[in-house]
């Protein structure tokens, strides 16, 4: 009973207090699908390039407006993304859908621009331990690299999204202070990122820790500059997304079939499954523009290829009922 009341409270606070929803009769959330990149980068089974292309083409037919399709990182570090150029050039790009790619440095950004990317995403860790393991440099060095990438991208009229990872916990350094996340968010916005995705990379966040982190971040920026990116290792992903919605955030990252994990965050599982996110949001009356049936089929397609059942409750519940 108490839980039901709390959920009602969360939803009504989201509707009444959220600066976005207050001004719009139709509530909506933009989903950033990260399955083809964050989802597959850590996949031990080699996924054929044509399977990746078919997977992205299926996602493009679901109504998703943003699909992060690959990363131009070192193939020595992340072999699964080594076919970035072939994937990016091979997909059927739909009007109205944006296909950002992840880049770690100027070398990656140059390759992405050459391939025709219209949006790149940079990433930086809120903890020194993860920064070193993931990108072989300190946070400050990473910021310096990021500045070069943003300058290059902007010279080429290319938008830059920023990720801050390990926003509540780091697999090497433990708890991450909210003030560090706020400081990095502010730096990335001032360098020219149009939006910052706050990543609970190892999925350790809870309602309390995510609230504390967001409250600190929202002292330096507004909710319309923020996205939330929750891995679901401890099953807290949807709860933490609700916390962010309650704070006025309206952009959410997720991966179809709950794919993924980070190669430098051992033990962390995939993102919140996009199917589960869509089901929750639409159930709350929040529009996503996503066709759940088509999304479930896309999730099944890739899950069948990697021979793993989808890590999505909704996919597992509804797939057999699809005609
Ligand atoms: C940053 C580096 C490159 C530094 O790696 P490094 O070894 O220090 O780089 P380097 O500059 O010394 O170069 C070494 C070699 O890599 C090559 N190289 C260098 N850069 C590139 C490039 N862009 N594309 C292709 N090749 C590249 C370069 O050409 C050279 O080749 P060699 O001369 O030995 O033949 C490396 O650490 C790296 O690629 N790291 C990326 C790791 C990664 O992708 N991790 C997963 C990202 S997910 C994440 O961070 C979290 C997020 C975003 O999902 C949010 C969340 O979940 O919370």
The string of pLDDT tens digits covering residues 269-301 is: 999 999 999 999 999 999 999 999 999 999 999
Name the β-bridge partners of 83: none
Interatomic CA distance for residues 310 and 296, integer angstroms: 9
Q: What is the pLDDT of residue 263?
A: 78
Among 34, 181, 48, which Cα is nearest to 98's? 34
Residue nearest (by alpha carbon) to ligand 1 atom 4: 135
Three-state DSSP state, 206? coil
The closest residue, in CA terms, to atom 52 on ligand 1 is 165
- Residue 57: strand, helix, or coil: helix
Instruction: Provide the 10 A C-beta neighbour count for residue 156.
Output: 15
- Residue 262's pLDDT band, with cuts at 50, 70 and 90, is confident
Give the model's pLDDT for residue 267. Answer: 77
> What is the overall mean pLDDT for the chain?
93
CA–centroid distance, residue 164 to ligand 1 (Å): 16
- How deeply is 155 buried, as exposed, middle or buried, from its count of CB atoms within 10 A (0-12, 13-18, 19+)? exposed
pLDDT in tens, 100-147: 999 999 999 999 999 999 999 999 999 999 999 999 999 999 999 999
Please, what CATH class does the domain formed by 27-321 belong to?
Answer: alpha beta
Q: What is the pLDDT of residue 6?
A: 53
Position 264 confidence tier, pLDDT thresholds 50, 70, 90: confident
Between the CA of 130 and the centroid of ligand 1 the distance, in Å, is 13
Residue 218 has a pLDDT of 98
Atom of ligand 1 nearest to the CA of 109: 23
- For position 23, what pLDDT does the model report? 42
In tens, the pLDDT along 195-249 reads: 999 999 999 999 999 999 999 999 999 999 999 999 999 999 999 999 999 999 9
User: Which residue CA neighbors atom 47 of ligand 1 most closely?
Assistant: 262
Residue of 310, 302, 309 lying closest to 48 (CA atoms): 302
Choice from 32, 74, 193 to test ligand 1 binding pocket (greatest atom count within 8 A of CB): 74
Confidence of residue 266 (pLDDT cuts 50, 70, 90): confident
- CA 180 to CA 311: how far, in whole Å? 31
- pLDDT tens, position by position, 13-69: 554 455 444 443 469 999 999 999 999 999 998 999 999 999 999 999 999 999 999
pLDDT in the model for residue 59? 98
pLDDT of residue 323: 67
Query: Distance, CA 142 to ligand 1 centroid (Å)?
Result: 11
Residues with CB under 6 A from ligand 1: 38, 41, 71-74, 76-78, 104-105, 107-108, 123, 134-136, 163, 165, 199, 201, 229, 262-264
The band of 4, judged by pLDDT with boundaries at 50, 70 and 90, is: very low
Query: From the CA atom positions of the chain, what is the Rg in Å?
Result: 18
- Protein residue with least CA distance to atom 14, ligand 1: 74
pLDDT attached to residue 265: 78
Residue closest by Cα to atom 36 of ligand 1: 135
Cβ contact 246:10 at 8 Å: yes
Ligand 1 atom closest to the Cα of residue 130 is 50
> CB neighbours of 3 closer than 8 A, spacing ≥ 6?
none
> What's the 7 CA to ligand 1 centre distance in angstroms?
42
Of 137, 166, 230, 262, the active-site residue reads: 262
Interatomic CA distance for residues 295 and 275, integer angstroms: 7
Q: Is 230 a catalytic residue?
A: no
Q: What is the full DSSP assignment across 227-260?
A: EEEEB-TTS-HHHHHHHHHHTT--EEEEBGGG--
Res 9: pLDDT: 54
């Amino acid at each position: 009973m108490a839980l039901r009341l709390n959920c009602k409270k969360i939803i009504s606070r989201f509707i009444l207090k959220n600066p976005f929803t207050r001004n719009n009769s139709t509530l909506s959330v933009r989903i950033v699908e990260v399955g083809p990149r964050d989802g597959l980068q850590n996949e031990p089974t080699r996924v054929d390039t044509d399977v990746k292309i078919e997977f992205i083409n299926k996602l493009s037919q679901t109504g998703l407006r943003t699909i992060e399709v690959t990363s131009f990182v070192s193939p020595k570090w992340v072999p699964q993304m080594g076919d970035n150029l072939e994937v990016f050039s091979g997909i059927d790009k739909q009007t109205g859908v944006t296909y950002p790619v992840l880049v770690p440095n100027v070398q990656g950004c140059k390759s992405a621009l050459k391939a025709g990317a219209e949006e790149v995403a940079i990433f930086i860790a809120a903890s020194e331990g993860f920064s070193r393991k993931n990108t072989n440099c300190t946070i400050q060095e990473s910021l310096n690299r990021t500045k070069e990438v943003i300058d290059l991208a902007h010279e080429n009229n290319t938008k830059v999204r920023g990720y801050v990872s390990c926003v509540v916990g780091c697999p090497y350094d433990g708890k991450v202070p909210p003030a560090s996340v706020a400081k990095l968010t502010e730096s990335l916005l001032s360098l020219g990122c149009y939006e910052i995705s706050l990543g609970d990379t190892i999925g350790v966040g809870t309602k309390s820790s995510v609230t504390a982190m967001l409250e600190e971040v929202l002292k330096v920026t507004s909710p319309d500059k923020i996205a939330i990116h929750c891995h679901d290792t401890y099953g807290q992903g949807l709860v933490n997304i609700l916390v962010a919605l309650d704070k006025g955030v309206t952009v959410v990252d997720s991966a179809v079939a709950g794919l993924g994990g980070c190669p430098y965050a051992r033990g962390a599982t995939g993102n919140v499954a996009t199917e589960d996110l869509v089901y929750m949001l639409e159930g709350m009356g929040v529009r996503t523009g996503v066709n759940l049936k088509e999304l479930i089929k896309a999730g099944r397609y890739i899950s069948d290829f990697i021979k793993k059942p989808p890590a999505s409750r909704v996919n597992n519940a509804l797939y057999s009922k699809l005609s």
